[in-house]
């Protein structure tokens, strides 16, 4: 299983991005806040465990 994920990581990342993209569109279309809180949980998970920039934009001093 791990070998398959490593070999197909590009496709796995595309599927994850597509799922989050579709969920974001659905959240923007619907007027209730219930689905917003569900998507927020998913976004926090992705930001914590999958994001490449784990320390945020303020972690590295940027040149002025």
**pLDDT per residue of the chain (64 residues) written in tens, 0 to 9:** 889 888 988 898 888 888 878 877 887 888 877 777 877 777 777 766 666 555 555 555 555 5
Is the pTM higher than 0.75?
Answer: no
Mean residue pLDDT of the chain comes to 75
Please give, one letter per residue, the 3-state secondary structure of 8-40: CHHHHHHHHHHHHHHHHHHHHHCCCCHHHHHHH
In contact, 26 and 18? CB cutoff 8 Å: no
Q: Closest Cα to residue 39, out of 22, 60, 56?
A: 22
């Amino acid at each position: 299983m791990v070998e398959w994920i490593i070999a197909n990581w590009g496709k796995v990342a595309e599927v994850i991005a597509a799922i989050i993209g579709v969920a974001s569109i659905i959240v923007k279309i619907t007027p209730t806040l219930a689905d917003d809180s569900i998507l927020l949980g998913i976004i926090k998970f992705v930001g914590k465990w999958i994001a490449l920039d784990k320390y945020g934009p303020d972690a590295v001093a940027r040149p002025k």
